[in-house]
Amino acid sequence: MSEPQLRVVLAKLGFDGHDRGIKIVARILRDAGMEVIYLGLRQSYLNVVNAVEQEDADAVGLSMHNASHMTLAPKMVEALAAAGLDVPVIVGGIVPDEDVTELLEKGVAVVLGPGASAEQVAISVRDAVAAKA
Amino acid sequence: MSDPREEWQQAYDATTLREGPFDTMSGVPVDAVYGNAPYPGQYPYTRGLFAAGYRSRLWTMRMFAGFGTAEDTNARFKELLRAGGGGLSTAFDMPTLMGRDSDHEWALGEVGHCGVAVDTLADMEDLFADINLGSVSTSMTINGPAIMIMAMYIAVGEKTGVDRSALAGTIQNDILKEYQAQKEYIFPPRPSMRLITDMMKFTSAEMPKWHPVSISGYHIREAGSTAAQELAFTLSNGFAYVEAALAAGLDIDDFAPRLSFFFNSHSDFFEEIGKFRAARRIWARWMKERYGATSERSMRLKFHTQTAGVSLTAQQAEINIGRVAIQALAGALGGTQSLHTDAYDEAMALPTEDAARIALRTQQIVAHETGVTNVVDPLGGAPYVEWMTDEMERQAEEIFAHLLDIGNDSILEGAYAGIDNGYYMGEIADAAYRFEREVNSGQRIIVGVNDFTEGDDGQRNLLRIGAEVEEYQLKRLADVKQRRNSDAVTASLTRLASEAADPEVNLMPTMIEAVKEFATEGEIVATLEGVFGTYVEKAVI
Amino acid sequence: MSLHGKNQRGQNLRELSAEAIFSLALDGELRALGRLITFIERDSDEAEVISELAHARAGNAHVIGITGAPGSGKSTLTGQLVALLNQKHPRAAVLAVDPSSPLTGGAILGDRVRMEDVASPETFIRSMATRGHQGGLALAVPGVVRVLDAMGYNPIIIETVGVGQVEVDIAGTADTTVVVATPGMGDAVQANKAGLLELADLFVVNKADRPGANDVRRDLDHMLDLSHTTGQDQRTGMRPEIVMTAALTGQGAADMWAAIERHRDAITANGQIDERRASRDLEEVRNRVMAVIERRVDDLLSEHGTTGALKAVRDREMAPSVAAREITNTRFG
Ligand SMILES: Nc1nc2c(ncn2[C@@H]2O[C@H](COP(=O)(O)OP(=O)(O)OP(=O)(O)O)[C@@H](O)[C@H]2O)c(=O)[nH]1
Ligand SMILES: [Mg+2]
């Protein structure tokens, strides 16, 4: 077998129901040869932590389109760390430029803007995973 | 009299017109209509609902906004009313839309954000304080918990001495598109439809000025559908509500005139115009032929339009103004009854005041400077436009046929089946992915995104909601809970649960009782979830 | 959780041996168990050690296969079952198998969501993609089941889509195989065609809230009557039961579990269960040997490359059967 297959948990936290983007990302990652554990809408931190543990995922992708990204994303990073899970958290969706630095400081591995191409999405996931290895 | 042209002329002559002149910028006088029958105002209304179109009345420039506390919004409402507006448009924040209270764990960071927070009747009283509900028309954009919000509105009226029969307005209450696209659902589809049927029955009997459902394609398109899918899913949802109402024993000509629609206007100009024209034609035909409507009012599809939020780019945001102008023009040429134009900075956050003003000015330019309002359906008869209209209708009819097929000849059952087997979500996801791939490969150019990208300075002022709103709302909720009679709350919730279990009972009266006891939205939702269950969607990717 | 487990918390699993990870998993650390399964799935170097460790502890779990057409409600039913078992068997495990994309090797695994909210916190759910080589799946699944069994999970439910022979076979090797049918689309007939009929120890007619559920039940009954064994499972002498469920509301889930238990008790009483398990192990041995041989055959043929017998076949100078005999004679003769 060649390169081991990456496994990525994709989720949306909280109330946010905009799932156009996360579904597109799911397909992009699948088409880049990854296995996507798709949790979808309205997930709790615990659901994501459980999924990462049980599925032995290599990365977590969060899609965020509401005001609460500054609250939810750092909390997700904390919840994973508290469970001893050293996996990168990648945030995509609508995040104003001025929030990016703070998110990165709070442990988010990558923030993908709305203009990210399919290649950029797949590469950032690979790179973020490689950076943890 | 059978000459359509003459008929049109008569109808036109009988209409009170706006003040003219109806001529071009250079002073050339123009007729109100050109081309062939059927003319505007004539069945199946492809060319418009009324003979004189915008010559009699421009579309309503409705701007939907609102955030912060109920008191903030109330202040804005009063300003609007002072400025001569008679319509109040209410947006609710995310927790309210999801039927959860402001102290729910996920509400953090969302309270008062994209709309006003309503937990209990007390918030609703603040929202409409010192406003005579008997003299305004209120539009409320809410779906899953619509019945609770509606009950609160009725209760506010009652407490201020306005009988429910005098209340006028619209509640979106279109739950089907929530499962299909917007995903702000709470209960499973069938019990949700029961709530809507209860509301349709209640308003039919007691609230003659109320529109209990506004069928919305906007969100279907935003989720990534094609224009034809938006058209077909929306109209078929309309048919589904009609079938539910008929099954509940309502008369079609009683309630069909009270249905209204809400569409998206995207950037492919002629496709959008064809879509709007086809929508009127399809609705008229189906109402008459399939559902046996006899009143013209039942056959006339009225719609509100909003420019496409998804088309706004974060890159070089200012150029969104150009997109919005073109989309607004398509809405006008399609004959919309009202229009909301998006602010150019909405891709990243809430619109700033400046951007919202520019958006309003943009549609004013379309209305007053372009001359498109002088002629009714000015594009009618153009081969491409007529072809596109037919093509939109053809694609929509294919989708209706599929729904009838999976629904054993019922559109309502077809809608349930399509939600259940992931049909809608799959179609929308496929369309969204196809578009994304085309943009990605550069096959389809989006200005500022995959071509013409230089010139973005990235500096933008973003509007943010302070944390004070959240703190205020949490305190308010705690206060109300402290003050209310908790035994009475429990009793009303218990009654609600037992009535919910009996599909023969109309929940509306007890709902009104419960909100009057200050039961919170979250408590009512939890009570109903205990009976109806909570919907978890099957992820279709 | 033991102190030992706590101390290791946050420790990088990459720095630990397979044995160490195994004992962490035994201590209840889920990420360690998650990693063990990854090793098995990849058939990496650690897999054999892990299997050996697991084998010594396995053999207690009741393995249930659930298969049926896409969208028939397998995941929802599994969720309901697991929710029902929260009290009696809180430590259930679910293995949800979905196809990989044949083009890219990627996959979207979406079964988990339908179960996570109803399952007890101790339920373990793992999604697995078929990963191209379907033979690989046939090897991986028993391996993963063994590890879950060793960790004390019971029952273990395997969900596979009832299309494709390997998926069907996998469900078929369970102690109890449940075939899910739904109203509409001639499901019973489809089940017959896909060979699911012979496989089933139990039929569930799901979506019983829909019109036509009774027709499916009748069709199934009828087909069981017609089948050459007159509806009796040759292995057990039992006629599969038919249970009606509406998984969305949980209706019938208790009946379904009762029927599963009845089946398990029956095959335990008549010794079938041991026979099934033995033949499952033997089958795994056979599959593993086959996999090795297949790989060798591939190597052998690529050795021959474009010369010799293969070239002759390509040039239409030799019949394939003759070439095959020539190669086997020289190599295995
Ligand atoms: N009406 C009705 N719908 C059901 C029932 N059980 C499941 N569903 C719906 O059927 C759809 C498919 O359910 P799943 O549990 O994902 O089916 P599945 O067999 O696991 O699907 P795949 O894993 O994709 O093959 C979902 O929309 C469920 O909500 C039921 O008893 N009645
Ligand atoms: Mg499934």
Q: Does any domain span residue C88?
A: yes
**Between residues B280 and C191, which one has the greater pLDDT?**
B280
d(C-alpha B156, C-alpha C258), whole Å: 53
Q: Into how many domains does chain C fold? A: 3
d(C-alpha C179, C-alpha C188), whole Å: 10
Pick the residue whose CA is nearest to atom 25 on ligand 1: C70
Given a contact cutoff of 8 angstroms between Cβ atoms, the answer to whether B414 and B300 are in contact is no
Residue listed under structure tokens 């994309």: C101
Q: Are C68 and C51 within one domain?
A: no
B538 CB near a chain C CB, below 8 Å?
yes
Task: Output the six-digit token pair for B253.
Answer: 């000509």
Given a contact cutoff of 8 angstroms between Cβ atoms, the answer to whether A29 and A36 are in contact is yes
Decide if pLDDT at A2 tops 60: no
What is the structure's pLDDT at C333? 61
What is the structure's pLDDT at B67? 63
Q: Are C7 and C144 within one domain?
A: no
Q: Are C35 and C167 within one domain?
A: no
d(C-alpha B78, C-alpha B117), whole Å: 18
d(C-alpha C248, C-alpha B243), whole Å: 24
What angle (nearest 5°) sits at the alpha carbon of residue A124, between those of residues A122 and A129? 100
d(C-alpha C108, C-alpha A23), whole Å: 10
Q: Are C218 and C324 within one domain?
A: no
Q: Does any domain span residue C278?
A: no
What is the structure's pLDDT at B84? 73
CB-neighbour burial class of residue C84 (10 A; exposed 0-12, middle 13-18, buried 19+): middle
Residues in chain C: 333
What phi and psi values does residue B263 have, to the nearest 5 degrees? -115, 165
- Which ligand approaches the C-alpha of residue C167 most closely? 1
Side-chain-side CA neighbours of residue C170 (13 Å): 31
Q: Are C173 and C228 within one domain?
A: yes
Decide if pLDDT at C173 tops 80: no
Query: Is the CB of residue C206 below 6 angstroms from any atom belonging to ligand 1?
Result: yes
Q: Are C12 and C78 within one domain?
A: no
Distance of CA A29 to the CA centre of its chain: 12
Query: Is the CB of residue B538 below 6 angstroms from any atom belonging to ligand 1?
Result: yes
pTM of the model: 0.90
Decide if pLDDT at A96 tops 50: yes
Q: Are C248 and C293 within one domain?
A: no
Q: Give distance in angstroms: CA of C133 to centre of ligand 2.
A: 21
> Of all helices (H) and strands (E), which one includes residue B211?
strand B210-211
Residue listed under structure tokens 């087997």: B421
Given a contact cutoff of 8 angstroms between Cβ atoms, the answer to whether C247 and C76 are in contact is yes
Per residue in A25-70, pLDDT (tens digit) is: 999 999 999 999 999 999 999 999 999 999 999 999 999 988 788 8
CATH superfamily of A7-121: Cobalamin-binding domain (3.40.50.280)
What is the structure's pLDDT at A1? 40
What is the structure's pLDDT at C6? 41
User: Which of B461, B271, B471 is CA-nearest to residue B356?
Assistant: B461
Contact list in B for residue A16 (CB cut-off 8 A) is: 94
Q: Does any domain span residue C13?
A: yes
Q: Are C40 and C160 within one domain?
A: no
Q: Are C322 and C262 within one domain?
A: no
Tell me the CATH number at C131: 3.40.50.300
Given a contact cutoff of 8 angstroms between Cβ atoms, the answer to whether A9 and A61 are in contact is yes
Interface of A with B (CB under 8 A): 13-20, 23-24, 26-27, 38, 40-41, 66-68, 70-72, 94, 96-98, 113-115, 117-119
Sketch the domain layout of chain A as residue ranges. 7-121
Determine the distance in angstroms separating the CA of B454 from the nearest CA of chain C, rounded to an integer.
35
Range of the domain at C52: 1-56
Query: Is the CB of residue C207 below 6 angstroms from any atom belonging to ligand 1?
Result: yes
> Of all helices (H) and strands (E), which one includes residue A22?
helix A20-31
d(C-alpha B223, C-alpha B230), whole Å: 10
Per residue in C215-274, pLDDT (tens digit) is: 999 988 888 888 755 555 555 667 899 999 998 778 999 999 999 999 999 999 999 899
d(C-alpha C15, C-alpha C20), whole Å: 10
Q: DSSP letters along C188-216, please?
A: HHHHHHTTHHHH-SEEEE--TTSTTHHHH
Q: Which of C248, C249, C256 to mutate to test the pocket of ligand 1 (most atoms within 8 A of CB)?
A: C248
What is the structure's pLDDT at B448? 92
Q: Which atom of ligand 1 is nearest the CA belonging to C79? A: 15
Residue listed under structure tokens 């379904």: C256
Give average pLDDT by consecutive 10-residue segment, chain B, 541 residues: 90 94 95 96 98 95 71 85 80 94 90 90 96 93 97 98 96 97 96 97 94 96 97 98 96 94 98 98 98 97 96 93 98 96 84 86 95 97 98 98 95 95 92 92 92 77 76 95 97 98 96 98 97 86 81
Q: Are C191 and C252 within one domain?
A: yes
Q: Are C232 and C149 within one domain?
A: yes
Q: Give distance in angstroms: CA of C208 to centre of ligand 1.
A: 12
ipTM over 0.90: yes
What is the structure's pLDDT at C7? 42
C278 CB near a chain A CB, below 8 Å?
no
Q: Are C113 and C136 within one domain?
A: yes
d(C-alpha C97, C-alpha C158), whole Å: 7
B315 CB near a chain A CB, below 8 Å?
yes
What angle (nearest 5°) sits at the alpha carbon of residue A9, between those of residues A4 and A11? 160
Task: Output the six-digit token pair for C118.
Answer: 């109803």
SS3 A40: strand
